Amino acid sequence: MPQDFKDFFYKHTNKMAAACWANTKIVKTEVFTNRGLWRIHINITYPINVEEINLVKKELLEKFYFLNDIEIVPLISKSEVLRDLVLQNKDELSYLLFSNSKIASLVEWKVNDLRVDLVTEDKKTYLYLIENDICNKLASWVEDNYSLRVIVRAIPSANQIVNQNTTSFISHKKPDIIVNESYQVNKFSEPNNNYRRAQNKRSKAASITPDSKTIAISDVQEGMRTAIVMGEIWHKEINSLRDGRFVVSYYLTDYQDTILIKSFLDKLADDTINIGDWLKVEGSVRYDNYAGEVILYLNSHLLSEKTERQDVSDEKRAELHLHTKMSAMDGLTDIDKIIKRAAKWGHSAIAITDHGCTQAFPQAYKASKKYNIKVIYGVEAYLVNDDKKEKPHHIILLAQNYTGLKNLYKLISISYLDYFYRHPKIPKKILLENREGILIGSACEAGELYSAYINKSSLNEIEEIARFYDYLEIQPLQNNSFLIRDGLVKNEEELKTINREILQLGAKLDIPVVATGDVHFLDPSDEIYRKIIMAGQGYKDVENELPLYFKTTEEMLDDFSYLGIADAKKVVIDNSLLIANKIEDLKPVPDGFYPPKIAAAEDDINQLTWQAANEKYGLDLPTMVVERINKELGAINNHGFSVLYLIAHKLVKKSNEDGYTVGSRGSVGSSLVAYLTGITEVNPLPPHYRCPKCKNSEFISDGKVAAGADLPDKDCSICDTLLIKDGFDIPFETFLGFEGDKVPDIDLNFSGEYQSKAHQYVEELFGSSNVFRAGTISTIAEKTAYGFVRKYMEGINKVIKNSEINRLVKGITGVRRTTGQHPGGLIVLPQDKNIYEFTPLQYPADKKDAGVITTHFEYNAIEDQLVKLDILGHDDPTVIKELEDLTGINAANISLSENKTMQIFSSVEPLGLKPEDINSSVGTFGIPEFGTKFVRQMLEATRPTTFSELVRISGLSHGTDVWLNNAQKLISERTAELSEVICTRDDIMTFLIYKGIEKKQAFKIMEKVRKGQSLTADDEKVMRENQVPEWYIDSCNKIKYMFPKAHAVAYVTMAYRIAFFKVYYPLAFYASFFSIRAEDFEAETILSGYEAIKNRIQMIESQGYSAIPKDKKLLPILELSLEMYARGFSFLPVDIELSSAHKFVIKNNSLIIPFSALPNVGTNAARDIAKAVKKGSFVSVEDFQIKTNLNKTAMEELRKSGCFKGLPESTQISLFG
């Protein structure tokens, strides 16, 4: 039965395909294993644009990374699909094909039996069609834009059309052109090359006026010829067509609905519409099958002024109660936007008071500086008396000064660490102890004071409550209208009475009363977002209006007009400013870098660096080395980074002393000081020789050699000692920036077995009270948001367009859901500092049993102020440790130019195999970075012979749009060699410098490219002036993300060493791989031998994308097992006496599988078996079960594996046998 393509796409990408894929069925899949190609034939019911096909193809290729390509072949059998395509694009095609509207009007388009006929009664028009090759152009356009082959005919008379039942659509082949020859025209005559679309370009300047009447977007219907609508552009997409033009899709909203607008442009410079523009737009209305909805094809537009709410009051208020997207699953306010709005309205201050958290503070501070407005840092906390399980009251805490800010962070921390129960709660006693510098407000209807009025408390009780507060809050009546619906107050008049009484109470007790908005979103039209969020959490009354938007001074004065003019002004303006003016302009995180203090850290780094340099290059150091060290140490010491280097040095040294190698990540290998102090093994100097004996050195600085490992072996010209080959030519700027002032991010890969010890060592160095896990914030992602929107619309029985769904999805993404911890990030606090100067603390996801404390702020918010260490757990160092233990070989001594090892990256010969033995022509199964099908195919395409080429392949395999449709094409078409294409970000800077481009400009160009930003015209001009090839410039403009070269070198170094063991110590290699990486191990199949494994592999591969995830995960294990058998080795079944709990044990030419490799024998069970074995032998199966305490299922697996052979079932002895 044909599979639904949208279901298939969602299953494998977790993304929703566009509406145009609706009812599309997969009718056939061809798998070309040797070519790494899948060809998917689909039956379509709507025309699908080739851009959409390519987008889907790209998403699938990212998931099926082991493939070189996926071809999607659309098939159709109904002429309605072609008719839709023609009608949908007729205006654009007429514009493209015909030189003027008169000719277009003389041609009738007919779609019959999967064929397009261009019919005309006019002889000149018919000649025009032929001479200008219109049929070919139309057929090519259909193929280029929809990947379909169509027969197009020019017909001179309607009565000459002949029906032909023929298959008209075949993908990926040149289209047929059929010309009726009733007129004596040479059908092979050359097309008129003077035809130029640009000559006929229609102006899209505004033909509408400010007075042109508009209709609501929701009123735009299919069948309208044209429509004029008005709204804001909230999103746009640009796609290039094969003919060099561009199609721009604009999303226009009037905040009640959205419409998609399309425009076709000859050049991007013609695109004058920007996101945020408020436009009046006129265009033709058509249903677009690609978009799955009615869209507008742009004819003209007029830039207009958006009608926005303005605060025109002479005196402005200040909002003191506001929630951002950091109020978990409640606040919808974008931090930057609301602070920008407050500044635009002329407000002098605005408070941030999220529910129980302060995570918006860092971003709010940046916005306050950007828009020059004071942000007041506060929180809406949960107040209890003593018991954390009692129902809390809401309370507003505003930091008045730095003492208050510190106390606020302390209170937040206490609420999460000691008093969390459903909410982070603050006992009143704790609040009183830490009240200094904090202004306390009575909050909303959930506050202690308002609740007392609802509960009809006595006046004395109410006064006693009020005296606790620095100011009292009252809020607009509509905020509390739900109290009427819930029967807690009688009517609106009673709500007014409560607010009047609070005002009187404030006057009596001399406590200011402030009108606040309890803001949850920016504008009235944004209320829909909160309704969606609330409905998604199961709330039932979401359709009742709750206008918690940010209000102008006039709007608030109007809300409180029932108090009288004087009192309304007092609570709205005077008292809000009174409180705001009591509060200092604060920084939530202090400026500057605060590393922990280590005595003489700068001196130690300097000494370690120069000492290592002298040991490697002699006392008379080469000028290049001296200049590089001075440059780096200057930046490191001047910016206080020496402590960070010293910490990393100590961590790596400690791990090495404990027998575990450490791999570096990221761009730390760009630093020579990091190399000389032992932090990384990557030497960033240009390729060179150095003598280990006399210290003589020779540098290769012309760019002709990319890595020292690529240099030929050579003896020292002075002492005849074999020279060491080193250097990878990596600029320092990629690590600390061009000015050397970027806080270094030193990422280190420790063995997974050692990671916890490394964390513990950091605590030993600085004290456990000064080391915290780096916190993270999880927000609503796009997929989740899509589900929320769908659920809400289903709940109110409303169908909306995809474009409007996308707007609503965008509106609720980024709302905080929960918190977490960075997998290896540690934040280190200086001993002379208090953590509450920088951030509050909490448990990840508010779970105390997590056993760790994290920073409340996301680590990115404080990484420029405090040292962040990335101490990550990784398998590679664990594998290296295992290999060293099994062989006695020191991996650090393995040459990176060892010939036989290099050969497995291009052949299987060093393994003693033929390609057909393992269905691969390269021998990199099980080699990190090079073992996946995707990378193996890159190896087969490039056949690398040098270490630097392996580094380049690593860069290509990790970037985005670096290999696919970029370097891959350049290499296959022989435009460039592997050694020439762009592979890592550093390649760009190094290459441009060698070309003669000034260093700073080369750095800027590199930064643009690695961030996915297009080059400017000036960039391209400079590159061309320095003879940079056009293909190189084009390649730069395609790249979206790039790997740092230092990262690639570090990973390839580790991979190469493991490959060495694979070649020379195969059983040790296989044992280490299966012990550490083989989470899935199909023991029954693998123990059955080579043919059984080969058949299992073929079965999984034949299923292609339909294979279940478990089988896909198993495939690499099977491939390596097959290779192991092919090399003459084998596996042995579990042996009670010889098997390990988790490790594969070498015995002669075989590996004994561990207990944990059996199904249904878990980690703990395997460990229990191993412990029991160590204590002595077993006298029976019963004895075994008693000593190991295994369940029945595990026992049965062991029995099936033959473990109990020779053991009696029971220990009982028959007395009367």
Task: List the structure tokens of 630.
Answer: 């001075």
Mean pLDDT of 571-600: 92
Apex 880 CA angle, 876 and 881, nearest 5: 115
User: Which of 870 and 159 is assigned the larger pLDDT?
Assistant: 870
Q: What does the pLDDT read at residue 243?
A: 65
Quote the pTM value.
0.74
Per-residue pLDDT for 165 more than 60? no
The band of 1125, judged by pLDDT with boundaries at 50, 70 and 90, is: very high
CATH number for the domain running over 335-581: 3.20.20.140
Q: Which of 220-229, 354-363, 403-412, 805-814 has the lowest mean pLDDT?
A: 220-229
User: Which of 586 and 329 is assigned the larger pLDDT?
Assistant: 586
Per-residue pLDDT for 610 more than 60? yes
Inter-residue contact 424 to 416 (CB < 8 Å): yes
Q: What does the pLDDT read at residue 189?
A: 26
Q: What does the pLDDT read at residue 740?
A: 60
**Backbone torsions φ then ψ of 677, nearest 5 degrees:** -95, 10
The C-alpha atoms of residue 251 and residue 244 are separated, in whole angstroms, by 23
Mean pLDDT of 972-989: 86
Mean pLDDT of 65-71: 79
Mean pLDDT of 1-5: 77
H runs (alpha helix) in 43-78:
50-63
**Backbone torsions φ then ψ of 211, nearest 5 degrees:** -90, -5
Q: What is the average pLDDT score of the chain?
A: 85
Helix orientation angle between 50-63 and 134-146, rounded to the nearest 10 degrees: 30
Q: What does the pLDDT read at residue 188?
A: 25
Q: Which of 156-170, 459-473, 766-780, 905-919 has the lowest mean pLDDT?
A: 156-170
- Residue by residue, what is the 3-state secondary structure of 477-542? HHHHCHHHHCCCCCCHHHHHHHHHHHHHHHHHHCCCEEECCCECECCHHHHHHHHHHHHHCCCCCC
Q: Using DSSP, state whether 836 is helix, strand or coil.
A: helix
CA 164 to chain centroid, in Å, comes to 52
Helix orientation angle between 1030-1038 and 1017-1025, rounded to the nearest 10 degrees: 150
* Residue 75 burial (CB count, 10 A): 16
Q: What does the pLDDT read at residue 698?
A: 92
Q: What does the pLDDT read at residue 957?
A: 85
pLDDT tens-place string over residues 34-50:
667 888 888 887 788 88
Q: Which of 205-219, 360-374, 504-518, 838-852 has the lowest mean pLDDT?
A: 205-219
Q: What does the pLDDT read at residue 742?
A: 67
H runs (alpha helix) in 373-421:
402-417
The band of 351, judged by pLDDT with boundaries at 50, 70 and 90, is: very high
User: Which of 578 and 65 is assigned the larger pLDDT?
Assistant: 578
Q: Which of 182-191, 411-420, 505-514, 1157-1166 has the lowest mean pLDDT?
A: 182-191
Mean pLDDT of 1074-1088: 85
The C-alpha atoms of residue 212 and residue 937 are separated, in whole angstroms, by 60
Coarse DSSP helix, strand, coil percentages of the chain, rounded to the nearest 5 percent: 45, 20, 40
The C-alpha atoms of residue 454 and residue 440 are separated, in whole angstroms, by 21
Per-residue pLDDT for 927 more than 60? yes
Mean pLDDT of 676-688: 92
The C-alpha atoms of residue 418 and residue 420 are separated, in whole angstroms, by 6
Same fold, 203-303 and 893-1064: no
Per-residue pLDDT for 574 more than 80? yes
The CATH architecture that domain 749-875 belongs to is: 2-Layer Sandwich (3.30)
Q: What does the pLDDT read at residue 1217?
A: 40
Per-residue pLDDT for 718 more than 80? yes
pLDDT tens-place string over residues 986-1042:
888 888 988 888 888 888 898 888 888 878 888 889 999 898 988 898 888 888 888
Q: What does the pLDDT read at residue 155?
A: 81
User: Which of 1215 and 150 is assigned the larger pLDDT?
Assistant: 150
Q: What does the pLDDT read at residue 179?
A: 35
The strands making up 1150-1152's β-sheet, listed across from edge to edge, are 1130-1132, 1150-1152, 1145-1147
Mean pLDDT of 783-790: 87
Q: What does the pLDDT read at residue 157?
A: 63
How do the domains of the chain map onto residue ranges?
3-75, 79-188, 203-303, 335-581, 601-634+664-743, 749-875, 893-1064, 1083-1200
The band of 176, judged by pLDDT with boundaries at 50, 70 and 90, is: very low
Percent of all residues in the chain with a pLDDT value above 90, rounded to a whole number: 38
Q: What does the pLDDT read at residue 221?
A: 83
CATH number for the domain running over 3-75: 3.30.300
The band of 247, judged by pLDDT with boundaries at 50, 70 and 90, is: confident
Q: What does the pLDDT read at residue 578?
A: 96
Task: List the structure tokens of 228.
Answer: 């004029």
Per-residue pLDDT for 164 more than 70? no
Q: What does the pLDDT read at residue 699?
A: 92
Per-residue pLDDT for 1107 more than 80? no
Q: Which residue has the tokens 């860069």?
A: 955
Domain 893-1064 has CATH 1.10.150.700: yes
Mean pLDDT of 921-939: 90
- Residue by residue, what is the 3-state secondary structure of 445-479? CCEHHHHHHHCCCCHHHHHHHHCCCCEEEECCHHH
The C-alpha atoms of residue 130 and residue 156 are separated, in whole angstroms, by 11
Mean pLDDT of 494-509: 94
Q: Which of 517-531, 719-733, 907-921, 1201-1215 has the lowest mean pLDDT?
A: 1201-1215
Mean pLDDT of 509-534: 93
Per-residue pLDDT for 261 more than 80? yes
Q: What does the pLDDT read at residue 1193?
A: 81
Mean pLDDT of 267-277: 83
Per-residue pLDDT for 70 more than 50? yes
Q: What does the pLDDT read at residue 113?
A: 59
The CATH architecture that domain 1083-1200 belongs to is: Orthogonal Bundle (1.10)
Q: Which CATH class is domain 203-303?
A: mainly beta
